[in-house]
Amino acid sequence: MQQTVLIVDDSSSLRYVVRQLLTEAGYKTLEAEDAVEALDLLNGQKIHLILCDLYMPGTDGLELIRQIKQLPAYKFTPVIILSTEKSEDKKLEAYEIGAKAWVIKPFHPTQLLNAVAKLVR
């Protein structure tokens, strides 16, 4: 079964790069440009992993994670934060609310694929 990854980022160019990378690696992808669109996609379909930007217009990535973890079907879905943010405080907060990994942009393709592979089994 092909594993599905939801990419949530307000940058269409970043979503494109990540989609291409994941598709070439054999993953199915869904995309959302913000938290509202992401939550709409969490409609009961199986999503194996969520890649989420930290800073987006409206609801930020941390609040999105909080909302995702309240949804029974997605409570245990792993989330990777993709961000330019390097603050240890933000990383700690993300891990405390349920993020499983943090990848700093710009990232090397292998770094992102390794993080995804570790969390999607």
Note the pLDDT tens digit of each residue in 37-95. Answer: 999 999 999 999 999 999 999 999 999 999 999 999 999 999 999 999 999 999 999 99
Residue 29 pLDDT > 80, yes or no? yes
pLDDT, residue 40, reads 96
* Tally of domains within the chain: 1
User: How many CA atoms lie within 13 Å of 16's alpha carbon, on the beta-carbon side?
Assistant: 3
pLDDT, residue 54, reads 96
Q: How many helices (H) and strands (E) does the chain have?
A: 5, 5
Instruction: Give the structural domain span for 79.
Output: 4-119
Torsion of the alpha carbons at 45, 60, 103 and 96, rounded to the nearest 10: -90
Q: What is the CATH number of the domain that holds 21?
A: 3.40.50.2300
Cα 64 to Cα 5, 25, 26, 71, distances in angstroms: 16, 26, 26, 11
pLDDT, residue 48, reads 98
Q: Among residues of the chain, what percentage have pLDDT more than 90? A: 98
pLDDT, greater one: 1 or 61: 61
- The chain-wide mean pLDDT, for the chain, equals 96
Q: What is the pTM of this model?
A: 0.96
pLDDT, residue 121, reads 73
From CA 40, how far away is CA 37, in angstroms rounded? 5
